[in-house]
Amino acid sequence: MGFTIGGIRDLRPGTRRRGRASECTVVAEYTGLHGWDVTPGARAKAASGDTAGRCSCGAPRCPAPGAHPLRHARAVPAGSTLREVATAWDEVPGAAVLLPVGRSFDVIEVAEPAGRHALVRMERMGLPLGPVAVTPHGRAQFFVAPGAFAELPGLLYRMGWDGARLDLRCLAPGSHITAPPSDLAGLGPVRWLRPPELDTAAHPPHARLLLGTLAYFCHRSAAH
* pTM value > 0.75: yes
Note whether residue 71 is domain-resident: yes
Note whether residue 201 is domain-resident: yes
Distances (CA, A) of 24 to 45, 90, 91, 182: 21, 10, 12, 12
Note whether residue 3 is domain-resident: no
Q: How high is the mean pLDDT of the chain?
A: 88
Instruction: Pick the closest to residue 1 from 24, 31, 43 (CA basis).
Output: 31
pLDDT band for 36, please (50, 70, 90 cuts): very high
Question: What integer is the mean pLDDT of 3-14?
Answer: 36
Which residues partner with 99 through β-bridges? 177
Note whether residue 65 is domain-resident: yes
The edge-to-edge listing of strands for the beta sheet with 132-134 is 168-170, 106-111, 139-144, 132-134, 191-194
Note whether residue 8 is domain-resident: no
Neighbours of 82 (CB within 10 A): 22
pLDDT over 60 at 80, yes or no = yes
Residues contacting 191, CB < 8 A, separation 6+: 133, 134, 180
pLDDT over 50 at 29, yes or no = yes
Note whether residue 135 is domain-resident: yes
pLDDT over 80 at 17, yes or no = no
Residues contacting 99, CB < 8 A, separation 6+: 30, 36, 37, 38, 39, 176, 177, 179
Instruction: Pick the closest to residue 101 from 24, 15, 204, 190 (CA basis).
Output: 204
pLDDT tens, residue by residue, 131-163: 999 999 999 999 999 999 999 999 999 999 998
pLDDT tens, residue by residue, 39-52: 999 999 876 655 56
- pLDDT-wise least confident of 174-178, 202-206, 218-222: 218-222
pLDDT tens, residue by residue, 94-116: 899 999 999 999 999 999 999 99
pLDDT of residue 177: 97
Note whether residue 2 is domain-resident: no
The edge-to-edge listing of strands for the beta sheet with 176-178 is 39-41, 96-100, 176-178
State the residue range of the domain holding 133.
18-223
Structural domains of the chain, count: 1
Measured distance CA(90)–CA(104) in Å, rounded: 25
